[in-house]
């Protein structure tokens, strides 16, 4: 899964399913650069709603 941001961000990219974290990774991204979440790391054969968020580091 590929995502993009509209402004510089640094922190953690987090994927949750029904409120439970299923994947996370560190990011340091600039605008319009691709962020990749490996599909193989996401739950297979399970139902629920996936949400993607960024937990930014405070400067």
Rounded distance, CA 46 to CA 50, Å?
11
pLDDT in tens, 8-56: 999 999 999 988 999 999 999 999 999 989 888 888 777 888 899 999 9
Return the pLDDT at 1: 86
Rounded distance, CA 23 to CA 58, Å?
21
* Dihedral angle sign, alpha carbons of residues 51, 23, 38, 46: negative
Confidence of residue 59 (pLDDT cuts 50, 70, 90): low
């Amino acid at each position: 899964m590929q995502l993009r941001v509209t402004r510089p961000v640094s922190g953690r990219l987090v994927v949750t399913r029904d409120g439970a974290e299923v994947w996370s990774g560190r990011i340091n991204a600039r605008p319009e650069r691709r962020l990749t979440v490996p599909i193989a790391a996401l739950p297979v054969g399970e139902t629920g709603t996936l949400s993607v968020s960024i937990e930014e580091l405070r400067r």
